[in-house]
Amino acid sequence: MPARWRTETMSVQSLMVEACWRPMVGDVAGDFHDVIDLKDGRVAIVIGDVAGVGPDAAEKADELQAELHRLFRRTDSPSSVLSLIDDRLVRTNDELFATLACAVVDPASRCVDVASAGHPPILFANGVETRLLDAVSGPPLGIVGERHATTHPLPGDAALFLYTDGLVERRTSSLGTTLEHLVRAGRGLHGPIASAAELARRTTARLGQPMDDATVVSVRMFPHGTRRIEDVSQLGGRPRVVLRTYLNSRDLRSTRTEAAVKELALRTRETFDFSIELVDVSQPGVDTERDGVLAAPTIVRLQPAPVIRVVGSLRSVEELARALQLPLGQQDAS
C-alpha cells in the first residue's frame, strides 16, 4: 500500500527548497533528494532515482546520496560529480542502475548549471513562461559517457522543479504526453505558490496517482529586497505570524501537533503576533485544495513570506519552531 505524500521545506542562502515525496512501499524508497550548501555561496540541489522499490533500493539510494556529499566537497561542477560517480562504479564493478539530476544554483548571478544522468528534464516557471529546460542528458549512472552541464538564467520570479519519473510515467500514456501535462500543471507556479506539493497536486489531478516512488523538489529564489524574519524583528513592534493548521480531530498525531502550535504561540507571545486558523479535515465540505494540502496534520505558514508548509506529526515546540523557521529565543526555550 503506497504511503501518503510527505513534505519538507528548508531555506538556504536566498533559496526556498521544498520536497514532496510518496514512497510506493512502506516508508522507504529508491528516490532521494538533497540540498548541499557549497563553499562559494552556490547551492547544489540533487534528485535521484535508484531502480527498484522498498528497502533494497532505499539502501542504495542512501549510499549514493552520501557519495554525492563527499564529491561536492571535491568539486562544485555538476558534470564532474557525475563523471566521478561513473568512475567509482566502474572501478568497484557496482551494478547500480540509477538516474540523477544536479542543479547548482547561483543566487548572486541568478543562474543555474544543470547536469543530468538519464533523468527527466527540469521544469522552469517564472510567471511569464513555463517550459522544460534544454539540457544534455547523458546515460544513467554507471554507463560511461561524456558528462556535460548547461547554464540557464533565472529571470524574474523564477522557480525550478526537479522530479523523478514516478511523477509523470503512466502505463497508458507516452512520456511525451505526460510531460505536456506536467508543463500545463506548472503554469502560474511562481512566487509563494511555487511549491513541490502544489505541482504534485496539479499533476496527479491530471494523471492520477503514481504507480512508482515519486518525488518533486521545488526551488525558488527570494525576490531582491525580501526581508528575512530575523530582520523584521528589528523594525519595532511585533511581526505578524499567520498559521493555517489542517488537523484530523480523530488522529492522535493531529492532537499533538495542535498542542505544539498553541504552545509555540504562547511561548513567543512577546516576540510575535500570532493568528492561528485550525481546519478539521474530518468534517464534510472542508476545502484543502487552496493550500495544496495532501495529508493531515499540515501547518501552512502564510505570513511572513515566503509560504512554508510542514507536514507530519510534531511532538515539541522546538521542532515546530525549526520547521516553521521561527526563532525560539533562549529565554523562550527554558
CATH number, domain containing residue 263? 3.40.30.10
Confidence (pLDDT) at 229: 38
Average pLDDT on 17-30 reads 84
Closest CA to 162 of 184, 132, 202, 140: 132
Say if CB 263 and CB 317 are below 8 A apart: yes
Confidence (pLDDT) at 48: 93
Q: How many CA atoms lie within 13 A of 325 on its CB side?
A: 21
Domains held by the chain: number = 2
List the grid coordinates of 236: 519595532
* Residue 46 and residue 165 in one domain: yes
Q: Find the farthest-apart pair of alpha carbons in the chain and give their distance in angstroms, rounded.
A: 62
E strands, the chain, in order: 6-12, 15-22, 31-37, 43-50, 98-106, 111-117, 123-125, 130-132, 137-138, 150-153, 159-163, 214-221, 240-247, 273-280, 298-303, 308-311
CB atoms within 10 A of CB 211: 13
* Residue 199 and residue 243 in one domain: no
DSSP 8-state class, residue 13: T
* Residue 277 and residue 294 in one domain: yes
Confidence (pLDDT) at 115: 95
DSSP 8-state class, residue 2: P
Domain boundary among 221, 251, 269: 221
Closest CA to 114 of 71, 153, 79: 79
* Residue 82 and residue 192 in one domain: yes
Confidence (pLDDT) at 166: 93
Domain, as residue range, for 152: 6-221
CA angle 228, 229, 231 (to 5 degrees): 70
* Residue 181 and residue 251 in one domain: no
* Residue 150 and residue 267 in one domain: no
Cross-strand pairs, 8: 19
208 has a pLDDT exceeding 80: yes
* Residue 238 and residue 214 in one domain: no
With H, G, I as helix, E, B as strand and everything else as coil, classify residue 78: helix
245 has a pLDDT exceeding 50: yes
List the grid coordinates of 183: 508543463
294 has a pLDDT exceeding 80: no
* Residue 206 and residue 236 in one domain: no
Query: Is residue 332 in a domain?
Result: no
CA angle 203, 187, 43 (to 5 degrees): 85
DSSP 8-state class, residue 248: -
Position with higher pLDDT, 223 vs 108:
108
Q: Give the pLDDT band of residue 234 (cuts 50, 70, 90).
A: very low
* Residue 48 and residue 83 in one domain: yes
Q: In angstroms, how far is CA 249 from the centroid of its own chain?
A: 27
Q: Give the pLDDT band of residue 334 (cuts 50, 70, 90).
A: very low
Average pLDDT on 227-243 reads 55
What does the pLDDT look like over 52-78, one tens digit per residue? 777 888 888 888 888 998 999 889 899
Confidence (pLDDT) at 330: 46
Confidence (pLDDT) at 233: 37
- β-pairing, 137-138 vs 111-117, is parallel
- Find cell 563553499 and name the residue: 39
Query: Is residue 106 in a domain?
Result: yes
Position with higher pLDDT, 252 vs 93:
252
- Find cell 528589528 and name the residue: 234
Say if CB 147 and CB 138 are below 8 A apart: yes
Q: Give the pLDDT band of residue 33 (cuts 50, 70, 90).
A: very high
Q: Give the pLDDT band of residue 225 (cuts 50, 70, 90).
A: very low
Q: CATH number, domain at 170?
A: 3.60.40.10
> What's the rounded Cα separation, in Å, for the pair 5 and 116?
25
> What's the rounded Cα separation, in Å, for the pair 242 and 260?
15
> What's the rounded Cα separation, in Å, for the pair 83 and 87?
6
> What's the rounded Cα separation, in Å, for the pair 127 and 213?
29
User: What is the residue-averaged pLDDT of the chain?
Assistant: 84
Q: How many CA atoms lie within 13 A of 22 on its CB side?
A: 22
* Residue 174 and residue 62 in one domain: yes
What does the pLDDT look like over 178-205, one tens digit per residue? 999 999 999 988 877 888 999 999 999 9
